[in-house]
């Protein structure tokens, strides 16, 4: 990594360190594998939150992710990013589109393995206004959890940059479609594909732009101009309007 960064900088190329923050394994666990089974494989790494079953969510694809609602998980990922920045002259920390993962066939969020966490949150925060039986509320709670992590990381990276005279950026490369709509910023892009605001990813990238927690956004805009579901111009014009007036750069990924 040190060599790669050096060779990039010789050529005036920025080096962005690409991480997938929550994913333990995309797929491949045997059917019936439990969070405890996964945690046991990390028993020799007690500082890794994956060593505790309570920090793990099993996915529909026979994979596993770290549970985004857990403060221990959030703090650990922030620490990992800061460690990379401390030890390597990276120009950015860059996340792909892996946030929450699909945990049931039809994304039935109220029966998925983080329901106990959701209900515990409501019990501890009775004024939150969320209902234990509202899928809409739980989806927003999931977005809140990702928001909390992105804000924490943004604050930590800003402090690091100030203290060390660095300018490490924070960038996100989400799926191209935030929400399907009529093309207005408030409704969503003029598209008809998977939305990362809901679907199973549950991340509010527009909020991160509006709060200026990130330095750039790089939507995965892989489609032709003539694509019937997500035309390139429909996608990128919408994002261009979203970042207008914000101190956030837009790149086409």
Instruction: Tell me the whole-structure pTM to 2 decimals.
Output: 0.96
Confidence band (pLDDT; 50, 70, 90) for 201? Answer: very high
**What's the pLDDT at 168?**
98
For 81-132, the pLDDT digits (tens) are 999 999 999 999 999 989 999 999 989 999 999 999 999 999 999 999 999 9
- Average model confidence (pLDDT) for the chain? 97
Average pLDDT over residues 178-185: 97
Question: DSSP string covering the chain, please?
Answer: -HHHHHHHHHTT---EEEE-SSEEESS-PPTT--HHHHHHTTTT-TTSGGGSGGGEEE-TTS-EEE-TT-HHHHHHHHHHHHHHHHHS--SEEEE-S-SS---STT--GGGSTTHHHHHHHHHH-GGG---TT-HHHHHHHHHHHHHHHHHHHHHHHHHHHHHHT---EEEE--BS-S-BSSSSTTT-BS--S--SSSTTT---HHHHHHHT--SEE--B----TT-SSS-HHHHHHHHHHHHTTSS-EE---
pLDDT tens digits, one per residue of 29-81 = 999 999 999 999 999 999 999 999 999 999 999 999 999 999 999 999 999 99
């Amino acid at each position: 990594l040190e060599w790669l960064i050096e060779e990039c900088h010789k050529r005036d190329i920025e080096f962005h360190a690409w991480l997938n923050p929550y994913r333990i394994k995309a797929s491949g666990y045997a059917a019936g594998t439990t969070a405890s089974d996964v945690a046991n494989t990390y028993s020799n790494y007690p500082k890794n939150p994956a060593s505790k079953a309570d920090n793990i969510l099993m996915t529909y694809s026979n994979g596993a992710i770290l549970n985004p609602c857990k403060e221990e998980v959030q703090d650990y990922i922030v620490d990992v990013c800061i460690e990379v920045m401390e030890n390597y002259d990276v120009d950015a920390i860059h996340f792909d589109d892996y946030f929450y993962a699909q945990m049931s066939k039809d994304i039935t969020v109220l029966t998925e393995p983080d329901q106990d966490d959701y209900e515990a949150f409501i019990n501890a925060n009775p004024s939150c206004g969320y209902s234990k039986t509202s899928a809409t509320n739980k989806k927003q709670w999931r977005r809140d959890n990702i928001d909390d992590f992105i804000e924490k990381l943004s604050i930590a990276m800003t402090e690091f940059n100030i203290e060390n005279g660095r300018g490490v950026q924070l960038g996100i490369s989400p799926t191209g479609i935030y929400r399907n709509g009529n093309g207005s910023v408030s409704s969503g892009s003029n598209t008809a594909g998977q939305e990362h605001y809901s679907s199973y990813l549950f991340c509010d990238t527009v909020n991160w732009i509006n709060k200026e927690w990130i330095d750039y956004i790089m939507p995965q805009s892989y489609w032709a101009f003539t694509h019937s579901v997500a035309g390139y111009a429909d996608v990128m014009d919408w994002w261009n309007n979203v970042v207008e007036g914000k101190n956030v750069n837009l790149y086409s990924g």
